Structure 1
Amino acid sequence: MLNLHSGLDTAMVATGNSFAVATIVGTTGSTPHPIGTSMLIHADGSTTSSLSGGCVEGAVHAAALEALEDGRERREHYGYSPTDAFAVGLTCGGEIDVHIAPFAPDSSMHEVLDLLATFHATDPVALIRRIDIGSTGSVLVPNPAQLGLHDLAELLAPVVGQNASSLAATLSFQLVAGGRTGIVGLEGEGASCAETPIELLVESRLSPPRMIVFGANTFAEELLKLAPMLGYQSTLCDPRAAFTLQPRFNTADEISTVWPHEYLAAEIAAGRIDSRTVLCILTHDPKFEIPLLTLALRQPVAYIGAMGSRSSHEARMLALRGERVSEQELARLHSPIGLDLQAGTAAEVAISIAAEIIASRSEHATMSPLNTRSGSIHSRPQSRSRAKPAAAGQTMTQEDPAWT
């Protein structure tokens, strides 16, 4: 449901209006949107957002209106049938499971959506809600990365019951704190006395990851334009104020004229560098690069790339070895930076760098043309972990991996 914030009109879900929420809770193969994507169907037939870009919207809309009519939740499965021209399904060949829940005019979901609408698109927030049939309840969590396990258990108690709150918090915590989305199932004595186990949809969004670009030049100018499209909060760092403070770099969220290695050291000390951070060194100058890379390659960041020719790369590696940077640390460096797209312009070079950053997020990225591959285009393997707490029987967590 976190996808709804951009199109959410609180007047449409204000107390006094009925609506249904249709949410993707399972995916197989190539699908337009991931688990957690939601669509509102209002009592007057209007809709907010989309689940599939049009493939199954009509069927979901009809099922949601039925749910509003009889007041019952339901699950619908939509796949692809090559033999039935009139079958409802995804033209991309994948399959989705959709949970559809109606909400009455006095439902607490009105308050949840009203509060969600107050968040900015990049604000950190988590939403946890019951999706097992016959149950409702949800909780909105601001600043999920700062939430402790005990605090999460207290927030979940009204949603799952006091007996199940600790187990639910334990299984949900990594998703919430890591800004990830997934389905958490609880069963056993500690979870519920009902035949149907408790099922939670956990959606969490953290503050945007950072892209720090070192070196104020034309390549940096173009790369900074791409940063917001990729979801990054951007910083340009170059101690040469005459270059750095030019208006063409105003697309950066932050500009620093501190020496690169000093800036990075200060950000590390302040706790503003994490495992999602991307570092792009475009300085072309060893006096900036070597101290910076010596520090950067020892940090658990997502990506480190440095621009330069083959000869510059060899000289760079030699200098870094002279600074006692290990071979294991050197192996993390993307140098020369970017993918081989035969880029000719600064904008094309920036695209090649962005493409490598995207590819580095997943071990399944082949960086080869899709027409040379077979199988699913979108490799979204669902990781499953199972545990058997003594007091609660079997539990299962199904995750939809997210690079953030």
Structure 2
Amino acid sequence: MNEADEMLAWLEGGRDFALAVVTKTWSSAPRPAGAMMAVALDGQVIGSLSGGCVESAVHELALEVLRNGRAASAHYGTSDAEAFAVGLACGGQIDVLVTPVLGPDTVSQLRIYLEAVSGSRAAALALELPGVTEGDGADLGGASRILAIDAEGTAHGNFSHERLTEHISMDARAMIADGATGILEYDETGRRLGSGTRVFVTTSTPPPRLLIFGAIDYAAALAELGRFLGYRVTVCDARRVFTTSERFPAAHEVVVSWPHRYFAAEDAAGRIDASTVVAVLTHDLKFDVPVLLEAVRSAADYVGALGSRRTHAQRTEALLDAGASEEEIARIHGPIGLDLGARSPEATAISIFAEVLVERSRGTGASLRATTGAIHR
């Protein structure tokens, strides 16, 4: 059960709790803006704001918010000494909003957003913030107003007036499309860039896809790791006897089809985008070449292919014969993965995803002790 499902269970059970949200970060903050933590009156916790750094301080504030029913904001890490005192030894700084989840309107709007997150649907959550001049520990005199906004821009809930609600909804819709999170400011007429109402908007977008072609033992390990990392995992192979959900329990979808036909259909339907990871594990030219040709001509972010250097050289020749350009072939990570000395399926899966993470984050892949600069990008 993920954090959204756990919070939904609290809502369904009528449990009162406070919602803490990271609204802004500086330097090497360990969790991004939008990270959430829920704290119940009995002290039970769901989620994390800092990987363990400031949880104790936020936990105490959340219990106070639950007792008095008023949302509050706090800043952690204004100096190295203070950062260390609350556990931010990494030197990062974060702003946090804590609001009680009380009353049918707040519960309803939060439920709509959490259900979208749980169902892998695009949505946004807008929360009212204290004014910019009110400072650390400022409260709103009550719970933070909340809006849930779906991908079409429809708002569930209301802010102080209809025009402001409409503007927040339009801005949130654009942020959903960009996968953005941040603070917006509006004047009394609801216009952006004003100085009256401050709103934090966090967005949830469908998880990135991991398409694995080849129903082999390496695919099972990669599917499990991909799911753990938050990907929606598909395993596809033309061989029905090997391509079963029993063999790949971690996959969200197990598809019996020729890989290139399945990929082409998904691409035509608009389900391949710049977040998609493609791993071709068949190392059989009759499967590899057609699907790789489709993949390198798509918007997929990462395309990798399993096999020895000799196999990849043969694959390259076959792709050239099939009409692939040098630039298209250069998109293929082959042999797939980083040099970690991996041999087992599980270690190979780590090697593959290590390369995916390096490529997507523009990291170096080097040991952190040999690098300088921010650790959390």
TM-score by length of 1: 0.78
User: Which string of whole-angstrom CA distances, capped at 9 and with x for unpartnered residues, describes residues 250-307 of structure 1?
Assistant: 4433223322212212222333323222211111111211222112111001211111
Higher relative contact order (CA 8 A, sep 6+): 1
Partner of 2:105: 108
Distance, in Å, in 1 between the alignment partners of 2:272 and 2:40 is 42
- Amino acid corresponding to residue 306 of structure 1 in structure 2: A
Correspondences of 1:304-323 after superposition (within 5 Å): 304-323=303-322
Distance, in Å, in 2 between the alignment partners of 1:84 and 1:36 is 23
- Amino acid corresponding to residue 40 of structure 1 in structure 2: A
1:231 to 1:67, Cα distance in 2 relative to 1, 3 A? closer
Task: For residue 101 of structure 1, report the CA deviation from its aligned partner.
Answer: 2.8
1:109 to 1:312, Cα distance in 2 relative to 1, 3 A? same
Correspondences of 1:76-95 after superposition (within 5 Å): 76-79=74-77, 83=81, 87-95=85-93
SS at match of 1:213: strand
Partner of 1:29: 27
Larger displacement relative to structure 2 (313-322 or 274-283)? 313-322
Matched, 1:131 2:128: yes
Distance, in Å, in 2 between the alignment partners of 1:218 and 1:40 is 39
Distance, in Å, in 2 between the alignment partners of 1:224 and 1:78 is 38
Larger displacement relative to structure 2 (326-335 or 239-248)? 239-248
Asked whether the equivalents of residues 74 and 101 of structure 1 are also in contact (C-alpha less than 8 Å), the reply is yes
SS at match of 1:242: coil
Partner of 1:51: 49
Asked whether the equivalents of residues 25 and 35 of structure 1 are also in contact (C-alpha less than 8 Å), the reply is yes
Distance, in Å, in 2 between the alignment partners of 1:197 and 1:165 is 14
Task: For residue 348 of structure 1, report the CA deviation from its aligned partner.
Answer: 1.4
1:193 to 1:228, Cα distance in 2 relative to 1, 3 A? closer
Distance, in Å, in 1 between the alignment partners of 2:80 and 2:18 is 30
Asked whether the equivalents of residues 80 and 87 of structure 1 are also in contact (C-alpha less than 8 Å), the reply is no
Partner of 1:200: 199
1:249 to 1:64, Cα distance in 2 relative to 1, 3 A? closer
Task: For residue 313 of structure 1, report the CA deviation from its aligned partner.
Answer: 1.9
What 5-or-longer segments of structure 1 have no aligned partner? 380-404
Partner of 2:292: 293
Task: For residue 32 of structure 1, report the CA deviation from its aligned partner.
Answer: 3.2
Partner of 2:97: 99
Larger displacement relative to structure 2 (46-55 or 315-324)? 46-55
SS at match of 1:234: strand
Task: For residue 71 of structure 1, report the CA deviation from its aligned partner.
Answer: 4.9
Distance, in Å, in 1 between the alignment partners of 2:32 and 2:82 is 25
Partner of 1:371: 369
Partner of 1:121: 118
User: Which string of whole-angstrom CA distances, capped at 9 and with x for unpartnered residues, describes residues 176-202 of structure 1?
Assistant: 134x34113234564369984333222
Please point out which of 74, 88, 105 is paired with 2:72.
74
Partner of 1:6: 6
1:128 to 1:316, Cα distance in 2 relative to 1, 3 A? same
Task: For residue 378 of structure 1, report the CA deviation from its aligned partner.
Answer: 0.6
Asked whether the equivalents of residues 224 and 251 of structure 1 are also in contact (C-alpha less than 8 Å), the reply is yes
1:156 to 1:252, Cα distance in 2 relative to 1, 3 A? closer
1:324 to 1:75, Cα distance in 2 relative to 1, 3 A? same
Larger displacement relative to structure 2 (106-115 or 323-332)? 106-115
Distance, in Å, in 1 between the alignment partners of 2:308 and 2:376 is 33
Aligned length: 365
Task: For residue 57 of structure 1, report the CA deviation from its aligned partner.
Answer: 2.8
Matched, 1:140 2:148: yes
1:116 to 1:187, Cα distance in 2 relative to 1, 3 A? closer
SS at match of 1:256: strand
Asked whether the equivalents of residues 83 and 93 of structure 2 are also in contact (C-alpha less than 8 Å), the reply is no
User: Which string of whole-angstrom CA distances, capped at 9 and with x for unpartnered residues, describes residues 362-386 of structure 1?
Assistant: 22x111111111222111xxxxxxx
Asked whether the equivalents of residues 129 and 136 of structure 1 are also in contact (C-alpha less than 8 Å), the reply is no
Distance, in Å, in 1 between the alignment partners of 2:218 and 2:42 is 50
1:343 to 1:83, Cα distance in 2 relative to 1, 3 A? same
Asked whether the equivalents of residues 218 and 346 of structure 1 are also in contact (C-alpha less than 8 Å), the reply is yes
Distance, in Å, in 2 between the alignment partners of 1:331 and 1:5 is 41
Distance, in Å, in 2 between the alignment partners of 1:183 and 1:261 is 39
